[in-house]
A and B are shown apart, each in its own frame.
Chain A
Amino acid sequence: MTNPATDDRRYWEDLRLGEVIELGRTTLTREMITSFAREFDPFPFHLDESAAKASLLGGLAASGWQTGALCLRLLADSFLVTTASAGIVRVRNLKWKNPVMVGDDIGGTATITELSRSEHHPQFGVLALDFDVSNQRRLPVLLMRLSVLVAERPVGALA
């Protein structure tokens, strides 16, 4: 049986080690930063300009968790939308290298560094992607290895 949600997409067998995905870019607005922070990371330096100026970050900065979430969004739009993917399995060595401030524009690449069979999900493979994301001044902002589940090509589906 084929899965209607994943038809016409790339399956695990279609992916290649070393493939580099161009993630595109996204710009952080003040509203984006404060609305995420109110819900998930309500430290004053993510919410209030004057508190942020006095902090180690030196200005209103996005929560690192939001930076990561936006990297995921960039991956979804540039790659997952055309892949038979099925959610995050794990994240390794996530590093926040520099704060992301209001008006910063972030983007970069994700490189396929591992392809393995899933231990827990039959008919799925695991794909590891190394993220290298920087800001408009080419300063690194986020590195991580993110693993996602990808369905294997269903039996009978055309290659």
Chain B
Amino acid sequence: MTRWFEDIVLDEVFSLGSHNFEADDMVRFAALYDPQSLHTDREAAQHSQFGGLVASGWHIASVAHRKMVDALFAEEERLRTLGHEPGLSGPSPGVNSMDFPAPVRPGDVVSFRLVVTNKRHSNTIPGWGLLFNRLTGTNEQGQLVYEANLVGFSKLRDYRMPWWQKLLQALTRVPIIGPLLARRA
């Protein structure tokens, strides 16, 4: 979340709210990015193994991401109102896994949750930490429809760059030596 790396508590559960998957949105997404008849064509989808229209897995993942972004913004706002300086999250390097154990059908309301399962200092970017997040989506029947293990960056509040690292960073801006150092790093 938008907290400093040091303030992130493992296994704390964040409710990200729910999303109502509407048929029109499912079809619109799939027409652009995942044009398979079980996602785009109500008639043809009757013949699929699900017996009707289902959301593209990538649509579910994109909605889950949006719910996480909204929660990050809300947490930032909450910290500011309390008079705290919010932390900073960085771009994600990737996703370890995504699973879609049950289909999402038109009208399904999916509730999303986020848990930070692990964290450690980054080996490659000084001053930043890595967060291992598990994001899940559950339908109204309590069935798991989405589970993702995501990696994110969070900035360290109490980080002071060592003098040799500052020097190295300054040297990367010097012509000729700079590009060579950057290549080594």
Residues of A within 8 A of B (CB): 3-5, 39-43, 56-57, 63-65, 68-70, 72-73, 76-77, 80-81, 85-96, 99, 121, 123-124, 144, 149, 151
Q: Bound state CA distance, A144 and B90, in angstroms?
A: 21
Known contacts A65-B61, A88-B57, A88-B58: does B66 contact A41 (CB below 8 Å)?
Answer: yes
* Contact yes or no, A87 B36, CB < 8 A: yes
A111 to chain B, nearest CB (A): 19
Complex Cα gap A66–B1 (Å):
21
Tally inter-chain residue pairs, CB-CB below 8 A.
106
Within the assembled complex, what's the spacing in Å between the Cα atoms of A75 and B23?
23
Q: How close is A151's CB to chain B, nearest CB, in angstroms?
A: 8
**Complex alpha-carbon distance, A131 and B76, angstroms:** 35
Question: Could you tell me the distance between the alpha carbons of A124 and B49 in the complex, rounded to whole angstroms?
Answer: 9
Given A76-B35, A86-B48, A93-B94, A69-B100 contact (CB < 8 Å): no
Q: Which residues of B contact A56 (CB under 8 A)?
A: 90-91
By a beta-carbon cutoff of 8 Å, the part of chain B in contact with chain A is 32-39, 44, 47-49, 54, 56-58, 61-63, 65-66, 69, 90-100
Chain B interface, DSSP helix/strand/loop, else mixed: mixed
Q: How far is the CA of A86 from the CA of B36 in the complex (A)?
A: 8
Interface of A is mostly: mixed
Contact status B35-A5, CB under 8 Å: no
24 contacts between A and B (CB under 8 A): A39-B66, A40-B63, A41-B62, A41-B65, A41-B69, A56-B91, A65-B65, A69-B58, A72-B56, A86-B36, A86-B38, A87-B56, A87-B57, A87-B100, A89-B57, A89-B99, A90-B99, A91-B61, A91-B97, A92-B96, A93-B96, A94-B95, A99-B91, A123-B49
Contact of A95 among B54, B57, B94 (CB under 8 A): B94
Complex CA–CA separation, A76 to B47 (angstroms): 19
Q: Is the CB of A96 within 8 A of B48?
A: no
Find out whether the CB atom of B100 lies under 8 angstroms from the CB atom of A96: no
Q: How far is the CA of A93 from the CA of B94 in the complex (A)?
A: 7
Cβ-closest chain A residue relative to B39: A87
> What residues of B have a CB within 8 angstroms of the CB of A88 in the complex?
34, 56-58, 100
Partner of B48, one of A5, A41, A64: A5
Q: How far does the Cβ of A81 sit from chain B's closest Cβ, in whole Å?
A: 8
